[in-house]
Amino acid sequence: MPLILFNKKYRNGIAKALPRSLVMSLFYAIFFICMFEALNSTTALNTGTLYTLVPFITAIFSWFIFNERISTKMLFVYLLGIAGTCWVIFGGDIHALLALSLNSGDALFMAGCISMVCFSISMKLLYRGDEMLVSVFCTLLGGAFWML
């Protein structure tokens, strides 16, 4: 914060970046709120497993919003990443993976994951070449506001 506020170049960029950063940070804050609330009724194992889907869902949303195609190679990489991460999360135990049972907390966390996807999409839609330090500062400031 001092680096931003004591540098005139950065300070002048706040007014331009803050409105867009408030939108982006709302999605990020929703993710954390959903995660913290979901962990009251689900497990870290379930949330870790569901979070592995975020990159793939982001790719699907990007396909619809930006018309970005998912090549066969990219699809393979996404699926391999999901499988590899699940392998690590479940310690290579296929029976533990098959025994995964979802509950209402998982639905809430999945809503948070969709919000994280929206954060990524909004970054691409709303970024206007602002100084990266200013953009990060405004996003953190907005996140603190929404969490409050």
**Cα–Cα separations (whole angstroms), residue 99 to 25, 46, 102, 123:** 35, 11, 10, 36
Distance between CA atoms of 91 and 108, rounded to whole angstroms? 25
Structure pTM?
Answer: 0.85
Query: Which of these, 120, 113, 109, lies nearest to 59 by C-alpha position?
Result: 120
Task: Average the pLDDT over 43-72 and give the result.
Answer: 92
Q: What angle do CA 42, 99, 97 make, to 5 degrees?
A: 90
Please report how the helices 72-89 and 54-66 are oriented relative to each other, as an axis angle in degrees rounded to 10: 160
pLDDT in tens, 61-81: 999 999 999 999 999 999 999
Q: What is the DSSP string of 13-33?
A: HHHHHHHHHHHHHHHHHHHHH
- Flag whether pLDDT at 90 surpasses 90: no
pLDDT of amino acid 59:
94
- Flag whether pLDDT at 142 surpasses 90: yes
pLDDT band at residue 98 under the 50/70/90 scheme:
confident
Spatial contact of 142 and 27, defined as CB atoms under 8 Å apart:
no
Query: Which of these, 102, 130, 133, 135, lies nearest to 23 by C-alpha position?
Result: 135
- Cβ neighbourhood burial of 92 (10 Å; 0-12, 13-18, 19+): exposed
